[in-house]
Structures are given as C-alpha cells and as structure tokens.
C-alpha cells in the first residue's frame, strides 16, 4: 500500500478553532473508509485534556478517537490502527515518548508498509520527517536520538515565520536558523510550512495544500517559494 500523509503546519489558525482551517482536507484525507483514529497526545503534558479536545473535533467530523495513552499496549494499538493522528506541542517531549513506548519503528512500518493514513500537525509533522533538528521547540527533555519516524526524506519547519520589517528584534530569523542547519554536512532540504499550509503525500506524489505559500531551503541553493496546489513530488525522490 502506498504511504498516505497529511502534514499540517498548525493545529489552530488565527481566528478559528482547533483544526477548523484544515477540517475539509482532513475529512477528504480519511474519507469514509476510516472509522477510528488512534490519537497520540504525547507532545503535551495533560494527555487527558488534549485527548478531549481532539476527540470532540473528530467526533464532529464523524470519526471515533482512541488515544494511545488509554491503551493497555501502545504498540498493539498502533498495529491495529485504521489511521494515526499525532498532534502538536513540544517536539522533543513527543519524540522521547515515542521512543520510550517503542513506537517509532512501529509507526514507520504501519504507514510505509501497510498504507495506514498518517495525520500530523506541528510537532506531529516534525516527527514524520528525517529528524527534529529543524523544530522551533525548546529541548525540555532529551530523546535518545533526533532521528524521527522518517516517513519523508526531508525536514519540515512548521509555523514558518517571515521577517517582520517593522520589528526591532535582533535575534536570528527563522530563515537564518535554517541556513545554520544547512551549514552542517549532509543535511536534507527543509520545507518551511507557513501557518495555514499543509503537505499531502500520496505514494510518490506530494502536493502543497492550504491558503499560504511554502518556502523550500536546500543546502547550497537559493530558497524557492511555492504556491498552494504546487507539485512538490520531487522532494520525495531525495
């Protein structure tokens, strides 16, 4: 079965509620074949509250949510999952918990070998990539590795933020941070997903969806801007 991923930049867009801005894409992505979604709330501290938020949203879309933290055996929950949703929060905390529960390779196998649909948002999008080295989050805990699930052969920077010309902030811009990452050898491309954008991957096809543009950073090359509906399938060939 081909991989199916929907990698969303942000869970909440200014002026709207949880997943409201991408709910039509989520419904189209899961379709009528999926009835139950396994939710991974590890990126936030309060798993019960986070699950309640996700459960209410997905119920409104016609899907049942079973949180992995409620399962007696998290690995078995992934093995039986019809679909997987990993939400946002702190990426370091999320990846550490995935390793702690032996879920990294299990999720990779279910998605890449069995074709289980994977929805990620923010931190959940980060961990779907090569590594979490281009996350915006603080390392509040330390996972055993920065290597992530590896569902795509590049990195993503969710919540990508452009420079505000009126700002007096003197710290590095997001662009400079990513360029510093590419000063290291053998670093993959980084797709900067602005809030409101998402990447749909179906097999060897990748399409930018949403309402905002995305910016691609590749080591040794000039950055490139892409409009919504752009074909980014070439990124999957790296």
159 among known catalytic residues: yes
Residue 186 gets which letter from DSSP?
A: T
**Annotated catalytic residue, options 159, 182, 230, 233:** 159
| Whole-angstrom distance, CA of residue 139 vs CA of residue 229 | 34
Count of H-run helices and E-run strands, the chain = 7, 11
Residues with Cβ within 8 Å of residue 20, at least 6 apart in sequence: 12, 13
Catalytic option among 11, 97, 122, 197: 122
In whole angstroms, give the CA distance from residue 79 to residue 71. 12
Q: Helical H runs in the chain?
A: 23-30, 47-60, 74-79, 91-100, 104-112, 123-126, 174-181
Contact in structure between 145 and 99 (CB atoms under 8 Å): yes
Task: Dig out the tokens for 5 from the structure.
Answer: 């991923």
Q: Report d(CA 151, CA 129) in Å as an integer.
A: 6
The one catalytic residue in 9, 11, 133, 137 is 137
The answer to whether 16 is a known catalytic residue is: no
137 is catalytic: yes
Q: Enumerate the active-site residues.
A: 122, 137, 159
């Amino acid at each position: 079965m081909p991989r199916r991923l929907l990698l969303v930049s942000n869970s909440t867009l200014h002026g709207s509620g949880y997943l409201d801005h991408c709910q039509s894409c989520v419904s189209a992505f899961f379709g009528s074949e999926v009835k139950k979604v396994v939710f991974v709330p590890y990126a936030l501290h309060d798993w019960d509250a986070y699950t309640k938020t996700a459960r209410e949203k997905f119920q409104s879309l016609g899907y049942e949510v079973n949180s992995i933290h409620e399962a007696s055996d998290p690995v078995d929950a992934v093995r039986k999952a019809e679909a997987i949703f990993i939400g946002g929060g702190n990426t370091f905390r999320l990846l550490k918990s995935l390793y702690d529960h032996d879920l990294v390779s299990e999720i990779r196998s279910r998605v890449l070998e069995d074709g289980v649909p994977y929805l990620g948002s923010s931190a959940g999008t980060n961990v779907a990539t090569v590594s979490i080295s281009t996350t915006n989050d603080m390392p509040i805990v330390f996972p055993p590795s920065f290597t992530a699930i590896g569902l795509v052969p590049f990195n993503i920077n969710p919540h990508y933020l452009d420079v505000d010309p009126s700002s007096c902030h003197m710290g590095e811009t997001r662009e400079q941070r990513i360029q510093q990452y590419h000063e290291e050898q053998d670093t993959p491309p980084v797709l900067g997903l602005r809030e409101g954008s998402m990447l749909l991957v179906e097999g060897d096809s990748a399409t930018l969806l949403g309402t905002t543009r995305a910016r691609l950073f590749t080591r040794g090359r000039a950055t490139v801007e892409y409009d919504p509906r752009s074909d980014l399938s070439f990124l999957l060939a790296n």
